[in-house]
Amino acid sequence: MITSFEQLIQSAKKQSTMKLAVAAAQDEEVLLAVDEAYRLGIAEPVLVGDGAAIRDIADRIKMDVTKFEIIDVPDVREAAREAVSLVSGGRAQFVMKGILGTADLLKAVLDKEIGLRGINLLSHVMVYKVPAYHKLIFLTDGGMNIAPSLEEKKQIIENAIEVCTALGLEQPKVAVLTAVEKANDKMPATMDAVKLKEMSETGEFGNAVVDGPLSFDLAFSKEAAKHKGVESPVAGDTDVLLVPAIEVGNGIGKCMTYFANAESAGVVMGAKAPIVLVSRADTHQAKLYSIALGSVVAGKI
Ligand code: COD
């Protein structure tokens, strides 16, 4: 079972090197990350984007990009479509967001002609390692689905479980995040939590255990659960945190990064191939972790 990003990198290094289509690669941190991924044998990048800008940046940071295939597509939306087409056409195994908006890449991924959509809902999973917690945290969905329905939440959980399984977790524990631990029909997220827990009890999530409603303190602190008299197999030992809406997930994720010294990686699941979805503000180290995550998941799909 992978419990750190160092182990994730080692795991990615052990499997065969996969081709990574990078959409809008004209960015220093993106180039540093893909160069490192290449050096470690984690991915072989194809750089799609503004060829002149890619070469200028590479010259400035003294990086040899002649070893990489560069496909010159200066417009970022067109670059996203080209990168996605490389994967849907079988020339690359996974795709990565470079220096463009998340929605622009996701629109290309969802495109009916060239996209990577299968029958499943696509959703975003962030993986965090924070010093204050004893294992990796899988946060979903703070990046793609804006206000998921109950059925969509079910699929978002399934996608997160798939990432956990790829990283070797045998029984992922899923907390359905709410503001309170009791069902309250004025708070729809708590009603969904009850239904998701019932689904878990009837075996709909396989080995995974889904519990809720659980507030953040209960999800991550056994003491808080004890104090509030809540008995839960998930409380204090959460792997996956399912959030009710994109703003919640995005906010928690940013708190992890800015206030909790988190290391992180992110991927979109549910498509025919993983989509490495990094934040433009991420360092090349965080981007490298995301590439490793995408590579390990791609190797298991
Ligand atoms: N999974 C599968 N299919 C989907 C999904 C999904 N998550 N979302 C939309 N679709 C399908 C629809 O069924 C439809 O067939 C087609 O895609 C278009 O649907 P729309 O019109 O709702 O899609 P868009 O293009 O307007 O929006 C899709 C986005 C993913 C771009 C949108 O949901 C979005 O902007 N999400 C937030 C992305 C973001 O900005 N994240 C940044 C936070 S860090």
Assess whether the C-beta atom of 178 lies below 6 angstroms from ligand 1: no
pTM: 0.96
Residue 280: its pLDDT value, please? 82
Report which DSSP code applies to 17.
Answer: P
Q: Is the pLDDT of residue 198 over 90?
A: yes
Q: What's the pLDDT score for residue 282?
A: 86
Residue 117 Cβ inside 6 Å of ligand 1? The answer reads yes
pLDDT value at residue 163: 98
Condensed to tens digits (0 to 9), the pLDDT of residues 89-120 reads 999 999 999 999 999 999 999 999 999 999 99
Q: Is the CB of 122 under 6 A from ligand 1?
A: yes
Angle at which helix 5-14 crosses helix 284-300, to 10 degrees, equals 50
Give the model confidence (pLDDT) of 17-27 as tens digits: 999 999 999 99
Q: What percent of the chain is predicted at pLDDT more than 70?
A: 100
Q: Are 53 and 24 in contact (CB under 8 A)?
A: no
User: Which pLDDT value is given to residue 279?
Assistant: 84
Ligand 1 touching residue 250 (CB < 6 A)? yes
Question: For a pocket test of ligand 1, which of 77, 102, 105, 106 has the largest count of ligand atoms closer than 8 A to its C-beta?
Answer: 106
Do β-strands 263-269 and 123-129 pair in parallel, antiparallel, or remain unpaired? antiparallel
Ligand 1 centroid from CA 107, angstroms? 7
| For residue 276, pLDDT beyond 90 | yes
Residues in a beta bridge with 96: 22, 276
Residue 282 or residue 133, greater confidence: 133
Fold match flag (5-118+271-300 vs 123-258): no
Please state the rounded mean pLDDT for residues 252-270: 96
C-alpha span between 151 and 207 (Å, rounded): 19
pLDDT value at 209 more than 90? yes
Confidence grade of residue 236 (pLDDT, cut at 50, 70, 90): very high
Instruction: Give the tens place of pLDDT for each residue, 61-81.
Output: 999 999 999 999 999 999 999
| Per-residue pLDDT at 278 exceeds 90 | no
- Ligand 1 in contact with 143 (CB < 6 A)? yes
Q: What is the pLDDT of residue 14?
A: 95
Tokens at 190, concatenated:
């708590």
Query: Would you list the domain boundaries of the chain?
Result: 5-118+271-300, 123-258
CATH class of 5-118+271-300: alpha beta
Q: Specify the fold of 123-258.
A: Isopropylmalate Dehydrogenase (3.40.718)
Q: What is the DSSP string of 104-169?
A: HHHHHHH-TTT--B-SSPPEEEEEEE-TTSSS-EEEESSSS-SS--HHHHHHHHHHHHHHHHHTT-
pLDDT at 59 exceeding the cut of 90: yes
Ligand 1 pocket, 260 CB below 6 A? Answer: no
Ligand 1 centroid to residue 145 C-alpha, Å: 7
Task: Name the average pLDDT for the chain.
Answer: 97
* Ligand 1 pocket mutation pick from 124, 144, 154 by most atoms within 8 angstroms of CB: 144
Q: Is the CB of 106 under 6 A from ligand 1?
A: yes
pLDDT at 173: 98
pLDDT the model gives residue 111: 97
Q: Is 159 in the pocket of ligand 1 (CB under 6 A)?
A: no
Strands 94-97 and 275-276: parallel
